Each structure stands twice: as structure tokens, then as C-alpha cells.
Chains A and B, each alone.
Chain A
Amino acid sequence: MVSTSLAISISLGAMSGQPLREFLPFAMAGILVWTHFIGILISEAPELFVGAQGSIKNNAFPFMFYVFRFATRSLIIFLHNIVVLFLVMLSVRNIHMPTWQVIPAVALLTAFMMFAAPVVGMAAARFRDLRFLLPYTAQILFFVTPVFWRPATLAAGKMNIVTYNPLYYLVDILRAPLLGEPVVPNAWLVSIVSLFVVIIVWAISFAAFRRRIAFWI
């Protein structure tokens, strides 16, 4: 995570003429939030049920047990990496004080991840080639979403690619308070609406296909 952030910060910082001490904390916070709450839905959630097949075929644990285990692991790694983020800020002597909004943002993103992960996990259990297709989607989304670049650098009239991307708001509700910045307008609204959409998709698909999971894996 540190090396990716550093590489992106050096090259993009140089391209946009921003100093490393400005750019690195921003890029790193963005990549941190992306990796642990959005990217993980593509990189690890497909393995959620397939990877636990030994347990699923032997025990009647609720399927959400595996989701809680998945989310707990991701949160613990996230908390470790938060420490790294502040160490990096310290090393470039550009420390931001996080605001209180970090806490509700982590809660909302965790909920988002926990309801989206079983949907991805079920789809990937039914269609085994999905986990080979998904990484391509991940790359596209990673570059389209302002994870390591600022929307302000977009040419006028091209703002639509950011405005209509819910992932932008989901990343921003945590990144901005981590860096002590105000969140973009509507970020909380869009994020809460996205969470509800995901919960509805989860409720429908989980109710319909949950009992098939044991046959798929």
C-alpha cells in the first residue's frame, strides 16, 4: 500500500506539479480507504464463500458469520494501515488532524462492505469465472474514481464522470475527515442512499439464493 501510494504520488505529483508533502497524504488516504472498503469487494469478496467451503459443507453456521469474519479482518488491517498513514504524514512533515466524522464514516463504509460482500460472494460462487473478470473492473473503477487525483484537476465540463460516481462520495466521506478536510457536498447523502440500495439488493438476492450456496461451492 505504501509503495503504491509512493509511486503514484511521485509520478502524479510531478505531472501536476504538486510537492510530495502535499500529494502523498492525499493519495495515500484515498488508496487506503479504497483498498479496505471498495477494492476488497472485488479482490477478496469473491472468495468469501468459495474459500470457506470446507466449513460451509460441514457446519450450519449462518452465512453472515463468514461476512462478519471477513469484515473484522479487513477492519483490523485498516486500523494498522491508519498508523502507517500518520507515520508517512509525519515523515513528510504535513500532519492533518482527523475530524470526528471519521467514526460514522468507518461505520457506514463497513456496513456498505458487509452487505455488498455477500452479494459478490454469492455471484462468484455461482459463476466461477467472475473472479477473473472482476479485477479488470477493479482497475477501471480505481482509475475513474478520484482515489489518487483531485476532481479539481479535471477540465471544465468533464466533472460528470465524478458527479455521477457514487464511489467518489463513498471514498470521500472517510478520506476528507481523515485529512481534516470538509467532505464534498452531498457526500453523506449519496453514501447513505448507496448503502440502502446495497441493503435492498442484498436482502433480495440473499433471500432468494442463500440456500443454493452450499450446492454452488
Chain B
Amino acid sequence: MVAKGLEMNSPIVRIDDVHLVYPVYSVNAMSLRHTVLNLAVGGRLMKGRNDVVHVNALDGVSFSLNDGDRLGVVGHNGSGKTTLLKVLAGVYEPDRGRVDIRGEVASMLDIGLGVDWEATGVENIRIMSRLRGLRSAEIERRMVDIIDFSELGAYADLPMKTYSAGMSARLVFTVATSFKSDVLILDEWLGAGDANFINRVSSRMSELVENSRTIVLATHNFGLMESICNKVLHLDKGRVKFFGSLNEYKESIV
């Protein structure tokens, strides 16, 4: 992260030639017993069985986002969307290249990650908000709003394991977007909310943009992207196929 208050117009997010190779381990490669045996027999056990596969997840990705930009990340399954989001969120460090993010990142990559299913909705709101460094008074002040917008009603006091997929998505989304952050990162799980909720999300966009200076959203839903984003990044096998404004993108795919 670069110190705040450099030039006003410098980008909030700048990704420069990021490479990331993602190791995938087989059951055998995750076993110490097998690894030791493998050393003893000179590597014959794991030869040619694809025990450690290296996936070239990101291959020279560069782009930058300014204040107010909402980026939609599109691409086929396995094109590197989620990996890119995880790099932006700081979960993965890239092998090569630079990631400069000015400000605070709020990431909701997957509902279920970071949620305590035994705890109630209200408790989870508290846990998630406290983990983001918010004070209890501030959380309690926003509690009614959050429960209201996520349309949980009486479910707010029930354990989250009783929630439907849409309800959990709504809760996690609302917490992620209720507090100010500089960069908001959302993975495609947003689609789990029902159509009505997505409409409400879209209509709340002005407030969202106010709360977060930059949004990065990975999605397969073109309509959702159209209503939220002004820029598009198209990934293909870890490479940038297109980066530019939404209008340019629409022209390029016609």
C-alpha cells in the first residue's frame, strides 16, 4: 500500500504485470508418509501421476482503477476471476508483479467463508463487523439497517445454518456493503440472491458507490454487470482479453 494523499488522481487500484502459479496437491502429495517414501525410492511413486499440478492462474495481468470505478470481471469458469479477486483482497501474494491498493479493502469472496453457521444472524453481523475493525457502538447503531436491508426479519435471531442460500447471501452482502471501504470486492455468489434482492441492490448502487470508492465484481450475469459496472475486464486463461469501459466492451462483442 502506498501512503495516502499523494496525487488526487492516482489510481486506487493498480495491478502491474501480475503472475500467479497456483499449486494443486493430490491426496498423495499432501501425505508426509507418501512424500518420505517417495524420497526413499527416488521419486518413482509420484512420477507422472500429476501429484503436484501447477496451474498458471494469472499470466501478466495489468490494469488500474480510479475513484468511482466499478469493474466487472468476466470470463469462463477457470479463467482466473476468483484468483484475481483473491490477489486483490490480499489472500494470495502474486509470484511476480505489483499490486498497489490505496486504502482499505472489504472482500466478500464466498458466503460461508468466515461465517459461523452455529451463530445467529445478529451474532454473525457482529463478528464480521468486528473483524473489520469496527467499534461495537457503530455496529449496534447500524444493526437495524442491516437486518432491514437483508430482509431477514425474525430469522435474524436464528442460527445461520437454518438460512437458505439466498438469505445468507443477502446477509453477507449487506454487511460487506454497509460500512465504508475504499475497495469492495465481490465474487459471483451475489447471484444467489433472488431477483427482487438484486433489483434492490442495483437501486442501492448510489449509496454503495458512496460507501466504497471502487468496486470489483466477478460475475456471469451480464445484466447485473451492466447495471452496476462502468468498466469490464475480460479474462481468458489468466490473460487479459479485454479491459476498458462497458460501452467499448459491448461494441467489441457485437
* Interface residues in chain A, defined as those with a beta carbon under 8 Å from any beta carbon in chain B: 54-61, 126-130, 133, 211-212, 214-216
Q: Quick check: B115 and A54 within 8 Å, CB to CB?
A: yes
Q: Quick check: A60 and B31 within 8 Å, CB to CB?
A: no
Q: Which B28-51 residues sit within 8 Å CB-CB of chain A? A: 30-33, 35
A61, B35: Cα distance in complex, Å: 30
Which chain B positions have C-beta within 8 A of A54?
112-115
A55, B107: Cα distance in complex, Å: 11
Q: Within the complex, what minimum Cβ distance (angstroms) separates A129 from chain B? A: 5
Q: Within the complex, what minimum Cβ distance (angstroms) separates B60 from chain A? A: 19
Instruction: Specify which of A58, A127, A133, A212 is in contact with B108 (CB 8 Å cutoff).
Output: A58
* Interface residues in chain B, defined as those with a beta carbon under 8 Å from any beta carbon in chain A: 22-23, 25, 30-33, 35, 86, 89-93, 105, 107-110, 112-115, 131
Instruction: Specify which of B89, B93, B110 is in contact with A211 (CB 8 Å cutoff).
Output: B93
If A215-B22, A215-B23 touch, does A55 touch B113 (CB 8 Å cutoff)?
A: yes
Instruction: Specify which of A55, A129, A211, A215 is in contact with B31 (CB 8 Å cutoff).
Output: A129
A211, B90: Cα distance in complex, Å: 10
If A215-B23, A216-B25 touch, does A56 touch B91 (CB 8 Å cutoff)?
A: yes
Which chain B positions have C-beta within 8 A of A128?
30-31
Q: Quick check: A130 and B109 within 8 Å, CB to CB?
A: no
Which chain A positions have C-beta within 8 A of B105?
60
Q: Quick check: A126 and B30 within 8 Å, CB to CB?
A: yes
Instruction: Specify which of B30, B33, B109 is in contact with A57 (CB 8 Å cutoff).
Output: B109
Q: Quick check: A60 and B91 within 8 Å, CB to CB?
A: yes
Q: Quick check: A58 and B113 within 8 Å, CB to CB?
A: yes
A59, B127: Cα distance in complex, Å: 13
Q: Quick check: B89 and A59 within 8 Å, CB to CB?
A: yes
A47, B93: Cα distance in complex, Å: 23
With CB as the reference atom, state the residue of chain A lying closest to B27.
A128
Q: Quick check: A214 and B31 within 8 Å, CB to CB?
A: no
Q: Within the complex, what minimum Cβ distance (angstroms) separates B115 from chain A? A: 7
A120, B32: Cα distance in complex, Å: 13
- The 28 sampled A-B contact pairs (Cβ below 8 Å) are A54-B112, A54-B113, A54-B114, A54-B115, A55-B113, A55-B131, A57-B86, A57-B110, A58-B91, A58-B107, A58-B114, A59-B89, A59-B91, A59-B107, A59-B131, A60-B91, A126-B30, A127-B31, A128-B30, A129-B30, A129-B32, A211-B92, A212-B23, A214-B92, A215-B22, A215-B23, A215-B92, A216-B25
